[in-house]
């Protein structure tokens, strides 16, 4: 089972730094993430999701390739590529993997202007080493929501700040 962790920051740059640190820890096999998204709120109050994978673009690229291949069979690869790209873009747009987008947008509305939150869905982690790796973020954020045990959440709050 995966655990959801949402950490809020007053500074958007710190949120992006945290995401980079988590990705680095994942490359070192200290944790395994299903999804990690930075949610930002502009000075005008607009909420944006910064996801590492753009599913619409990936779907369009894959659909275009498959459409061109199928179009070759019917001697019209350009039409096949166009139809495939359109279908792939639509399917990519409708696909929601990881953390629910509406949930993250709702979190974004609670942030202060120019604030950010990092939403992480963790499959597994080496807790003590991950906490040690997050020491650079001491007292820079606040835990907004988790599905961790009370003891684990208290450790995270102690590190990041209440």
pLDDT tens string 4-47: 999 999 999 999 999 999 999 999 999 998 889 999 999 999 99
The answer, yes or no, to whether residue 96 has pLDDT greater than 80, is: no
Q: What is the mean pLDDT of residues 67-73?
A: 58
Task: Provide the pLDDT for residue 56.
Answer: 45
Domain co-membership, 7 together with 80: no
- Domain limit, last residue, from 68, 94, 120: 94
Domain co-membership, 65 together with 46: no
Considering its fold, how many domains does the chain have in total?
A: 2
Task: Provide the pLDDT for residue 55.
Answer: 43
Boundaries of domain holding 152:
3-52+100-160
Using CA atoms, how far apart are residues 112 and 55, in angstroms rounded to an integer? 28
Domain co-membership, 8 together with 35: yes
Domain co-membership, 33 together with 59: no
Token representation of residue 6: 């949402």
Token representation of residue 71: 């179009």
The answer, yes or no, to whether residue 116 has pLDDT greater than 70, is: yes
pLDDT tens string 136-161: 898 899 999 888 888 888 888 888 76
Domain co-membership, 25 together with 68: no
Q: CA nearest 37: which of 103, 116, 120?
A: 120
pTM exceeding 0.85: no
Quick check: helix, strand or coil at residue 120?
strand
């Amino acid at each position: 089972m995966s655990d959801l962790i949402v950490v809020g920051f007053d500074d958007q740059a710190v949120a992006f730094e945290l995401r980079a640190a988590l990705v680095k820890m994942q490359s070192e096999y200290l944790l395994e993430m299903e999804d990690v998204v930075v949610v930002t709120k502009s000075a005008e109050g607009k909420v944006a999701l910064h996801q590492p994978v753009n599913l619409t673009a990936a779907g369009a690229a894959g659909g275009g390739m498959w459409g061109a291949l199928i179009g070759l069979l019917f001697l019209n690869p350009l039409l096949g590529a166009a139809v495939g790209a359109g279908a792939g873009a639509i399917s990519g747009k409708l696909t929601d993997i990881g953390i629910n987008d509406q949930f993250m947008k709702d979190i974004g509305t609670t942030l202060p202007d120019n604030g950010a939150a990092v939403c992480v869905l963790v499959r597994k982690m080496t807790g003590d080493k991950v906490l040690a790796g997050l020491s650079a973020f001491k007292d820079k954020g606040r835990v907004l929501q988790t599905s961790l045990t009370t003891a684990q959440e208290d450790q995270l709050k102690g590190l990041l700040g209440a």
